[in-house]
A and B are shown apart, each in its own frame.
Chain A
């Protein structure tokens, strides 16, 4: 079945360590997105990519990095520069702005 796979579902890291969250899609979508969700807040856009080898910063890109070497994959690295990394991270994909959005199951990152 087509869909988006995020892994792992839960992730624990020590403060100061970089960590990479995986997002893979087999929907043949051009656009992929990373969002962050905090309690009591709406999802916020971290990075997005419209095409392979190209990506753009979203509203809260500081402390994060991404790559888009393959159409299917859009990994997110949470660096030690991110001051408050503990959050729920969601990956999404789509064929464009006026098309249905597809979401992964999310990764809950806890930094201790």
Chain B
């Protein structure tokens, strides 16, 4: 079973700061997802990647397959970015769902 470690667990920053959230895993994967969960509980998919880097607005996701590590960056952070960010993996071998990290609780203060 793939082990997923996210860091930090909690992060409080000031508006405008550059944010980095890390995700490490133990077994090779087919795809890695970054998800955002707002206080109401609903989850939105931010990125799905299997190599390299993806960018969407102020969000950037990178993955290093050899090092089994991915990062989510937020540039020019804003209070509306406050949420829980979750890394999730699919390891392959059948449609058995994703393995999730415990999440990083991000608070951006104005």
Contacts and interface: CB of A to CB of B under 8 A. Distances in A.
B40 interface: yes
Interface stretch (A16-24, A40-48, A70-78): A40-48
A63 interface: no
Interface string B87-103: 01010101111111111
A56 B100 CA distance: 19
B44 A42 contact: no
Interface residues of B, number: 27
Contact of A96 (B42, B95, B101): B95
B31 A103 contact: no
A1 interface: no
B76 interface: no
Contact of A40 (B30, B35, B97, B102): B102
A99 to B, nearest CB: 7
Q: What are the 4 tightest A-B residue pairs by CB atom distance, in nearest-first order?
A: A42-B100, A105-B42, A103-B43, A106-B41
Contacts of A37: 41
Interface of A: 31, 33, 35, 37, 40-45, 48, 50, 56, 58, 88, 90, 92, 96-106, 108
Contacts of A96: 95
Interface in B44-103: 44-45, 48, 50, 86, 88, 90, 92, 94-103
B97 to A, nearest CB: 4
B30 A103 contact: no
A41 B42 contact: no
A58 B97 contact: yes
A101 B88 contact: yes
